[in-house]
Every structure is written in structure tokens, then in C-alpha cells.
Amino acid sequence: MRGSPPFNNVNVGIVCYASVGGSGVVAVELAKCLAARGHDAHVISSEPPFRLREPRPGVWFHRVEAPGYPLFREPQYLLALTNRIVELSRAHQLDIIHAHYAIPHAAAAYLARQILRMSHRTTRLPRTVTTLHGTDVTIVGSDPSYRETLAFCIDQSDGVTAVSESLRADTHRDMAVQREITVIYNFLDCEFYDRRPNAALRARLCPSGTCEKLVVHVSNFRPVKQVDAVVQIFARIRRKVRARLVLVGEGPESPKAAHEIRALNLERDVEMIGEANDVVGVLSIADLFLLPSLQESFGLAALEAMACGVPVVASRVGGLPELIVDGVSGSLHGPRDLDGMAQSAVDILTDAGKHQAMAAAARRMAVERFGADRIVPLYEACYERVLAGISGSS
């Protein structure tokens, strides 16, 4: 993704988690896109994010070390991160500190700004932008132990964005945040996320004679993802369609999912492949994507499937209705309506015309509404506003 930025080169420090969660993925992809558009992106995290393994021109990684100390019961990552942001702000004259996921990144950005403001060694005071990704508000922010601090740090940001209208509404309702929040959806590089059929992989995961359709689920296997429900929905599908289920990912619900597979006698029809380096490869051979989550502030995995031309059957929760058009690019149901999801899945899998139309619509919507070329300029515009001293607008 290349093009002329709407303003001069910006030096941005992007603070994120290194894990495979959506916030880290989006943060690193944003860094890559900003660098391709002529900016300098400094990724700050505890270890190199898994999407930043190879060197990229214009993208630098800076590690945060949080050494243990006998007085403390655990390493003080917030303090170490704050100190690292201060160091990098001085060394690289950062214009923007962009905190992805509010806890502890927005707090560290706020503390770093206070240190820099009071320091005689600082020649430039960076502005701060906080991007809310979901569980930092809906789970962490709902805990009384964190709510006041989290709301304060969000309000102290120069700009705040959320990845869906649903999350913006949740934040204002549940957190009493006063700062205006701009919705900037998650995005993908749709040149990379595109269907690339692999006959050999398809034959391995969906052997001819035993399987006609391949159903896929990708997540971090946390309770909110309802991976056991994925297996139960598939069991209903399997009664009517010769299909196999591929579960991609790992997490605390993995044993529960394995137990459900055994309990429903689906060992031959379900494959748990763990974390996959080539998610695009798996999605490229899929016929359907299942995401029956209890809550999704956006649903990045669903967008990845759509970009690869895969219809999605998902829950009507959070930001998913902003991503999936019911009856056009997929099907939406209540998160407990397993029968409804299964029936929609069967309808899509057994109607070639419907499947083809939904697959084409899914790809088209991913490119037109959530492609990097459309979304990254919105972040640039956000940076331009905060650098001009404007808090942002919706």
C-alpha cells in the first residue's frame, strides 16, 4: 500500500501486545502501512509481534524489558513501558504515541507524557492516540478495580478511536468516558488476504470420498468464542452434509473443545491444527466460517475469512452486524441459537448459487469497506487532527 500521505512524515510510536490477538495484528499491520506511505513507525512491545518477524523499511521494533525485583510480587510492566516510551520519545522525537488496547498502554502513554512535560531534556512533547479494541473496555474496563483509572487515561488522550460503532457506544455507556471517540474499523491488506486455492492442502484436510465441504473456525479459544458451540453446530451440519471441521488456534478452551469432539463421536470429522502460520492458506480452501461468539467488538477473524471469499455464519453481537450483512455476505443469529446457525450453514453449503453469491459479496465488502487503502488514511487524518490540537470528531 503506497501513496502520498496527507501531511508531512510522522514519527509514531505504536504500543501493542505481541500476542496473536486482534489488537496486536492490527497495530503491526498499521505500522507496515504507515511506513509504506512514507511515515516512520516504532513498534513498542515486550517481544517482537508475530506479524513483525521480518525487517520492514520504515518500521523499527523496540523491546520493553520488565526485570523482576524482590520487593515486587510481579514484574512492573507498566513502569518499564512508561520508561521505554520516554526514552524513545527523546531519542526519536516521536510525534505520536499510539496506544493499542487501553490497559496498560494508555496509562503508560499518559505517564510518559507527564514525565516528558516536566523534563528539561525534552524538545518535543508527543501527542497521544488510544485505540480501543474491545475486551480492554468490555471486560477489563467493566472491573471496578480498573474502571476509574482506565476512563481517566482514555479521557487524557488527545485522540481516541474504537474499532466499531458498537464498541464506541459500550465505552460511553459503561465507562463514562467524556472524550469524543472516532470509529475507525479494523482493516486488512486485501492483496495478501485473498483466496489462493491449494489442492494438496484441501485434499489433506477434506479427503475426497469422505468430505465434500470444509468448515473452519479461527480464534484464541477463549470462553467468549464458544468453541464448544462451534463443535455442536458442526455436529448438526454433519448430519446433513458430508463435511469436516478444522479448528485453528489454541487457548484455555482447547481441552473443552477436544472433550466435546469426543463426546459427539466426531474424531474423524474434526481436526484441531493449533496455531497456523498460514491462516490465509487454510481460509483459501474453506467453504464456510463459523464464529458463534458471545461478544465481538469487531471480528477480525471473520473479516479475514470474508477477504478470502468465505461466507460467515456468526452471532448477531457487538460489531459483527457492522461487518457481515445478514443474508448477503453471511448469516447472523443469536449467540445461543445453535440450531439456527446450523440450518443457515446447511443452506449455504447445499445451495451452490447462494454460496457463490455470498462468497463474492464477502470478498467485495472486505475490499471496498475494510481494505487498508480505505482505512489507513483515516488513521493519518486522526494523527493530523491531534497534531493540529483538535481532539477529533465522530
Q: State pLDDT tens for residues 167-213.
A: 999 898 888 788 999 999 999 999 999 999 899 999 999 998 788 99
Could you report the per-residue pLDDT of 85-114, keeping only the tens digit for each? 999 999 999 999 999 988 889 999 999 999
| 3-class SS shares of the chain: helix, strand, coil, % to 5 | 45, 15, 40
Domains 11-187+371-387 and 199-370 share a fold: yes
In this structure, whether the domain defined by 199-370 belongs to CATH 3.40.50.10420 is answered with no
Contact 212, 244 (CB under 8 A): no
**For residue 65, with 0-12 CB atoms within 10 Å meaning exposed, 13-18 middle and 19 or more buried, which class applies?**
exposed
216 vs 249: CA distance, rounded Å = 11
Cβ pair 218, 232 in contact under 8 A: no
Number of Cβ within 10 Å of residue 322's Cβ equals 17
CA 181 from chain centre, in angstroms, equals 18
- Please report the pLDDT score of residue 218 as a whole number: 97
For residue 183, what pLDDT is reported? 98
The answer to whether residues 244 and 266 touch, using CB atoms and an 8 Å cutoff, is no
Phi/psi class of residue 327: alpha, beta or left (left: φ > 0; alpha: ψ in -120 to 50)? left
Yes or no: say if 96 and 128 are a contact pair by the CB < 8 Å rule.
Answer: yes
Q: Which residues of the chain have pLDDT under 70?
A: 1-7, 20-21, 68-75, 122-123, 138-143, 390-394
Q: What is the pLDDT of residue 66?
A: 78
Q: What pLDDT shows up at residue 208?
A: 82
pLDDT, residue 194, reads 96
What was the pLDDT predicted at 389?
Answer: 86
For the chain, the structural domain boundaries read 11-187+371-387, 199-370
Angle at 338 (CA atoms; ends 208, 356), nearest 5 degrees: 45
The total of other beta-carbon atoms located within 10 Å of residue 309's CB is: 22
Give yes or no for a cis peptide into 292 (omega within 30° of 0): no
Domain 11-187+371-387, CATH class in plain words? alpha beta
Question: Contact at 8 Å (CB) between 27 and 16?
Answer: yes
Integer angstrom CA distances of residue 258 from 261, 266, 267, 293, 294: 5, 10, 9, 18, 20
Which residues, 6+ apart, have CB-to-CB distance to 240 below 8 Å?
346, 350
